Structure 1
């Protein structure tokens, strides 16, 4: 069932129904400010296993547990690190996930057998209302098939999971459009595992020193955060990032488009508003202006899905500065392209 939850007051009964499904061990897709989540009772191993089956998600890929407040924290974590409350006061509710030592009640299915648990308090009013009504923490990865671009609208959820879930709360398009920042607080110096809506610069301003994970390789072990080990965010067509001086990037993309057109291949592009006029291709998605990486980030996953719908054979994308929200944008682009980069000559 799909319920229109864009008006929170009118959606009260639908949220109550969705919360009851969660309490009974079922699956509910719901909006957050980052992406749509696929939620289940975080204290129920069988319910959490249903998430993995619905998504086709590997069992060694941990989930994020969504909460609505500090109550019940003692059941989820065994220890509250020093910086936790400072960060929670500043960035919760919001797009920040914190990794903490896990409590005994959290099933190993949630954490992929790790001794840590990832917690977040989402900002979206529908997500908060669902958690509060269910009176349970909700484990929720993105509500898509594993490896596909994350869903930022209810329509995206249905593209991937229709017939696999019991209830979908349609809260409209997600505003941030990229998954949350993940920060591991179990180290002496906090470790940024995944960039997102709370930027590295903001974290450094709040905490001082913050380390950044410098390796994405977790071949024989569970990754400490979602989005690190497996193919993620990927469109169906092979995708390449074109990197270099801006004018050379434009010429390189033009050349690749010409070469592929002669071979009868359909090319899709992910480009900026500034460069849109320079390109001819079968499908062009404009992310926005370079001066607004937040806008570009919010459009990324929808643009990748549009290129899938266009049936292109190849996708080329511009690259961006890895500062502010640009770091998260480039993180997702690199994962979607599986680190395939063309150097503009």
Structure 2
């Protein structure tokens, strides 16, 4: 298969809308930008097309896909019930990075929902994704457009790197804005429950619908091998770089000292090592970087603006792969509005390997 790449700023809108729409109508796959990450889109109501997503990504078939819509009129064919909480959250946060889990209608195939009687739905705010869905009038199943388990794609180049030759088309609109996947909230119980943290926080949700719970599995590893995930990313290792990633938590100076020591030990054994620092701490590793030729230190952003960290998170994990490091040591991020979302991704990327100093 020859994967076609359309650079959105270099081609007429009517052309990419028509061609991408035809691919989707014919049951094909298109890599599309959203405000969170790039998604791998297919007709959500076509079970064969959904199967192609799983095959292209190497994704486990019980890992449900998120269905993307444009306009509230599209949701009624997808759900058997639309609770008042869903309407309230949609009015406040859609279009935007919020996914709601609702009871599915008979029109949504189990091949899209991972065999569940629920469906995860969101309305993207990225103009390319929104225009495409609006134009083709097809609800799109669109998980992250990467090989399953790898860091999610925040640039079209990441999609091409992982899926070239496996999908029909990529719409390249440049780097995405947010950089981590949408918040997922389950509305099928008595109390809304966050299944995946993201840019829309618990406090933001509570301001609209009152009490909101957090699934205890979010920051812990699920030990039940028979667990059926209600949302993407709940069961399997995700976002993982090729190097062995370890998170180091504690007071800042202790963390810097511990990471420096661990890095020195590995380089003395002949390994190439990566360190994920922040703008505030990167200068503290400069001596180590200069004296140890096999150490690569990268800043993920500044703690003064957590949005810089979410924006750079997946890109920096992929850049570590480009540097061919065998071991990666990262500072942890537990505070602030987005701290939980950042740690959720890093813990999964590290396979829950974390030490406290």
Asked if 1:250 is matched to 2:256, the reply is: yes
Residue of structure 1 in register with 2:292 after alignment: none
SS of the equivalent of 1:33 reads coil
Distance 1:123 1:6 in 2: 18
Cα deviation for residue 231 of structure 1 reads: 1.0
Of 116, 119, 143, which aligns to 2:118?
116
Of 177, 191, 194, which aligns to 1:192?
194
Structure 2: segments with no counterpart, 5+ residues: 290-294
SS of the equivalent of 1:61 reads coil
Distance 2:62 2:24 in 1: 23
Q: How does 1:103-182 map to 2 (within 5 A)?
A: 103-182=105-184
Confirm or deny: 8 A CA contact 2:306 2:336 kept in the other structure: no
Distance 1:254 1:318 in 2: 11
SS of the equivalent of 2:72 reads coil
Change beyond 3 A, Cα 1:322–1:106: farther
Question: What does the per-residue CA deviation read over 1:17-53, in whole Å, with 9 as the maximum and x for residues that have no partner?
Answer: 0011101100000000000000100110001000000
Of 271, 281, 285, which aligns to 1:275?
281
Asked if 1:235 is matched to 2:235, the reply is: no
Cα deviation for residue 79 of structure 1 reads: 0.1
Moved more, 254-263 or 148-157: 254-263
Cα deviation for residue 106 of structure 1 reads: 0.2
Distance 2:272 2:339 in 1: 28
Question: What does the per-residue CA deviation read over 1:69-100, in whole Å, with 9 as the maximum and x for residues that have no partner?
Answer: 11132210000012111110110000000000
Confirm or deny: 8 A CA contact 1:192 1:213 kept in the other structure: yes
Q: How does 1:216-231 map to 2 (within 5 A)?
A: 216-217=221-222, 218-231=224-237
Normalised to the residue count of structure 2, the TM-score between the two structures is 0.94
Distance 1:145 1:189 in 2: 34
Normalised to the residue count of structure 1, the TM-score between the two structures is 0.97
Of 288, 292, 311, which aligns to 1:298?
311
Coordinate RMSD, CA, aligned:
1.2
Confirm or deny: 8 A CA contact 2:227 2:235 kept in the other structure: no
Question: What does the per-residue CA deviation read over 1:278-301, in whole Å, with 9 as the maximum and x for residues that have no partner?
Answer: 113421221111111111111000
Structure 1: segments with no counterpart, 5+ residues: none
Q: How many residue pairs align between the two structures?
A: 343
Q: How does 1:302-313 map to 2 (within 5 A)?
A: 302-313=315-326
Moved more, 60-69 or 282-291: 282-291
Cα deviation for residue 322 of structure 1 reads: 4.0
Moved more, 194-203 or 183-192: 194-203
Confirm or deny: 8 A CA contact 1:62 1:222 kept in the other structure: no
Confirm or deny: 8 A CA contact 1:6 1:172 kept in the other structure: no
